[in-house]
Amino acid sequence: MTFKEETIKSEMVYKGRVLNLRRDEVMTVSGRPSVREIVEHGGGVALVAVTDEGKIIMERQFRKPLERDVLEIPAGKLEPGEDPFEAAGRELAEETGYRAANIEYLTRYYPSVGYCQEALYMYLCTGLTKGETNPDEDEAIDIYEYSFEELCGMIDRGELEDGKSIAALFAASLRIAKKEK
């Protein structure tokens, strides 16, 4: 049986545009209090968008925390109260210009459960139709298409490092393999 830590005291340390930082004092299994720093985030969506030719739409954009550009699947944060399914279609169109005839829920993913409660809802997008991009004004995104095999090779060589992309590609590959049986 697992032990549930009870919160003794909770304090909001920082409230931001994208995330909040909370400091909780908890009672641990040892009977001693300890501190947990928790990042609150509204969650987001991550999309494996597959063209009719079997190519996966990828984005390359600069990511300030790493001080370099990163290759990743299309993704974005949820607006307050927004349904993840609706956000999936919105983010795909905004960032890539594509619209999907089929948007299929894959799974929910928690990127780092040790300190963050962010949830990413992952979707498989097919039946794509190309349109115009409409990224947020502070986004500069380059769009690429890769085969699944190319992306697997990039993961193997350490060239594709984004966790949500790796997890979503894995989940999509399982779903696609199941459909092909």
Residue 75 in contact with residue 66, Cβ under 8 Å?
Answer: no
Task: Report which residue type is found at 133.
Answer: T
Q: Residue 164's closest CA among 83, 57, 47?
A: 47
Residue type, 74: P
Q: What are the residue numbers of the active site?
A: 137
DSSP code, position 64: G
**Closest-CA residue to 92 (of 75, 79, 78, 105):** 75
Contact criterion met (CB below 8 Å) for 86 and 94: no
